[in-house]
Structure 1
Amino acid sequence: MKKSVNKTNPRLTSLIVMLKDASRTHEAKIWREIAKRLDSPRQNYAEVNISKIRRYANEGETILVPGKVLGSGLLDLPVKVAALNFSESAVSKITGADGTCMTIEELVRDNPTGSRVRILR
């Protein structure tokens, strides 16, 4: 029998519900995939460094990290990054390169169809 574990973080549970709802209403499979990844155990969350964002980011895209963005590496490209959490050094490096840091909730509100979004993990 599968053990049922509920998330205790109220922000995370409301985010998962919001992502599933956005996936249904806007027919965007990206939000269902992100909800599935956030519903998994926390040890499976993505931890992405700035250097990886620099390597895979293209002009005009938004980078989505279903986990935490860490500050190792250099960033010289202005990118929009949405994530569950950011380290302090990651925020300073992204904003220092004229980029923006946003939550996943803000990204869903700004881009409900999920177009031009790249998922990194």
Structure 2
Amino acid sequence: MSKTTNVKIQRKTNPRTPVLIAALKEGSRLNEVAIWRDVAKRLEKPGKNYAQVNLSKINRYAKDGETVLIAGKVLGAGLLEKEVTVVAYNFSATAMDKIAEVGGKCLTIEQIMEENPKGSGIKILQ
């Protein structure tokens, strides 16, 4: 008798996610850069485990002019006093407004991969 196990297969409900994960892995291989593989591994986890970072945390840990990547969602709680480029999987409307207010930029992970394929000068926050 064989024993069957119930293995639940995780499927991403957002069609953007598997495409992005595949692009990150390919970018990692092509450019021989570990940062994109790291971000892909973070996005392979269930969505409820994605990072949720408030602007106050970005303000605390980022330097002026720095590029910060969040493998999850940026939330608008707190103040942002530095002009930073924030890269994330998703943004709240409040966060986007506050980042633009101080002269910062909001980019998607796809956009930063295109602009900076080597991933140099990017700090990951979680």
Normalised-by-shorter TM-score class:
over 0.9
Separation in 2 of the partners of 1:8 and 1:52?
28
Name the SS of the counterpart of 1:32 in structure 2.
helix
In the alignment, which residue of structure 1 is the partner of 2:115?
A: 110
TM-score (norm 1): 0.95
Q: Which has the larger radius of gyration?
A: 2
Among 33, 38, 50, which residue is 2:38 paired with? 33
Correspondence 1:43-62 to 2 at 5 A? 43-62=48-67
Contact 1:78 1:97 in 2 (8 A): yes
Normalization by structure 2: what TM-score?
A: 0.92
Q: Which amino acid aligns with 1:99?
A: G
Q: Give the fraction of aligned pairs with identical amino acids, expressed as a percent.
A: 53
- Root mean square deviation, CA, Å: 1.1
Structure 1 position 5, deviation (Å) = 1.4
The residue identity in structure 2 corresponding to 1:71 is G
**Structure 2 unaligned residues grouped into runs of 5+:** none
Residue 18 of structure 2 aligns to a residue in which SS?
helix
Q: Conserved in 1, the CA contact under 8 Å of 2:65 and 2:83?
A: no
SS at match of 1:75: coil
CA distance in 2, matches of 1:71, 1:33: 25
Specify the alignment match of 1:119 in structure 2: 124
| Partner Cα distance (2:8, 2:17) in 1 | 20
- Asked if residue 68 in structure 1 is aligned to residue 73 in structure 2, the reply is yes
Deviations 1:89-118 (A, max 9, x none): 100100000000010000100011111001
Amino acid at match of 1:13: P
Figure out how many residues of one structure are paired with residues of the other and give that number: 121
* CA deviation profile, 1:22-58 (whole Å, cap 9, x unmatched): 0000011010010000000111100000000011112
Residue 84 of structure 1 pairs with residue 65 of structure 2: no
Amino acid at match of 2:19: S
What runs of 5+ residues in structure 1 fail to find an aligned partner?
none
Partner of 1:11: 16
* Contact 1:60–1:116 under 8 Å retained in 2: no
